[in-house]
A and B are shown apart, each in its own frame.
Chain A
Amino acid sequence: MTDSNSNHRGVSLAVRDLHKSFNGLDVLKGIDFEVEPGEIFVLMGPSGSGKSVLLRHVIGLEPPDAGEILVGGESIHSEGVMDKHHLAMVFQSGALLNSLTVGENVGLYLTEHRLKPLDEIARIVSDKLEAVGLKGTEDKMPSELSGGMKKRVAIARALVSQPHLILYDEPTSELDPASAVVIGEEIAKLNKQHGVTSLVVSHDRDLAFGIADRIAVLLEGRIMAVGRPEEIRSIQEPAVHDFLNAKLKRPDSP
């Protein structure tokens, strides 16, 4: 990272008794967990367990039915909290604006809020792209990038606002193993370099046990286990154990 201003630090996150239902279907049934400043917290769970819905609540895209989300001790829905703590989210698909170039996507936050002169924005964009290993791709369109490159651009875009908390939604889904490793390393590197708090939602066991300081397992809308990776590995609770140790069995194997 060449940006000398990137000395931001992480912020704490607390989710308390969060409930959400859609059309009478309970998706989140009283979620409780806390993330320490500067921690990489991975939330694991099978598809449909409510991970992405939880993430959308944390970033303020969905209002909860009950419960609260505190960032740095303040409710996410309080006036000015989003600006004060600079939350950023890396979407599962990258969610790059397809009508803009890579450079315009990465610099969008700064240009739209007119936070820096254009030449400085160009320099910051170049620095952030270099930080995720995509230097020189400013003029490419998102459609010209591979899935892994799109996710790295999305990470660069998240970094531009100098966030205190970054949320990653399935950062390695749809990626080949090598690209998944690169993304995992990027998340760990950014956390180490900037001390930014990272909340990662994933069902990728390699990623979770490779980068997490702590892991939570979300099953059917409830947190079933929270702990350090080695603690989670040793849990004998059947539902958690089965999820973490699911293996493909050949039909002809004994």
Chain B
Amino acid sequence: MFQNIGEMVILFWRSLLSLPLAWRHRQKVFEQLHEIGNASLLMVCVLSFFIGAVIALQTAPMLVERGLHSYVGGMVGYSIARELAPVMMGVLLAGRIGSAMTAEIGSMRVYQEIDALRTMNINPVHYLVMPRMVAISIAVPMLVVFAILVGWLGGAVVAANNDQIQIAAKVFFVDLRQVVELADVVHGVVKSFCFAVVIGLVACHQGLVTRGGPRGIGRSVTKSVVNSIVLIVIFDYLITRVLQK
């Protein structure tokens, strides 16, 4: 485990050092952005809509019953912006994007494509890791902004149409606006940026250390997703602690 952590720290440092080459590799960054956005946007919207909906469905009747109508919008909005959108999207994207990155780099490793790059004096960190790290660090925060907005919409739709809640969408958003500040959205976006770095780093590292044939690739993909999710939960606590009001 300590060896893995050490290797990931070194990989992160090398990726940082190669950042000045990002413009030169912009084509690869755009390709990765398209890949990530294209693969995830619909899933992000569906997932976040229903997360917002279920949060409203679970909590709003209880609040309404106690005469706390005005808290529904704020509670749904606040919990989605600061916690649920970044964490749930982090978990989703670790499964969707992180696994794909590990599988691609892992198969390149197994089938000697990375060795071929080295023999051409092409640094795999510059060619493979840095563009993916840059792309995921841009894409995930943007997807989380979408997720927050769609999550709020899901909450509003349920609040307006559920017989036990009956809060008009306009009222829902006015209540939400009274509680949720821009800083709360920024909090969620900052978290998602950190999760993106974690997902990208774990995925690329697991890909680069893949050994063996197809079974090795499968093992790396599983480790990539599981390690990313564990690290997301740990970093979620640490970041929340640091950014706490």
Contacts and interface: CB of A to CB of B under 8 A. Distances in A.
A109 B121 CA distance: 8
Interface residues of B, number: 15
B112 A93 contact: yes
A105 B119 CA distance: 13
Contact of B113 (A61, A88, A95): A95
Chain A interface size band reads 20 to 34
B122 interface: yes
B116 to A, nearest CB: 4
Name A's interface SS.
loop
A181 interface: no
Contact of B111 (A60, A95, A113): A95
B182 to A, nearest CB: 40
Interface string A101-114: 00000001100110
B50 interface: no
B121 A91 contact: no
B146 interface: no
Given A95-B115, A96-B113, A113-B121, 20 more contacts: A56-B115, A60-B118, A61-B119, A89-B115, A89-B116, A91-B115, A91-B116, A92-B112, A95-B112, A95-B113, A97-B117, A98-B107, A98-B111, A98-B113, A108-B120, A108-B122, A109-B120, A109-B122, A112-B122, A113-B122
Interface of A: 56, 59-61, 82-83, 87-89, 91-93, 95-99, 108-109, 112-113, 161
22 contacts: A56-B115, A59-B119, A61-B115, A82-B121, A87-B119, A89-B115, A89-B116, A91-B112, A91-B115, A91-B116, A93-B111, A95-B115, A95-B116, A96-B116, A98-B111, A99-B104, A108-B120, A108-B122, A109-B122, A112-B120, A112-B122, A112-B127
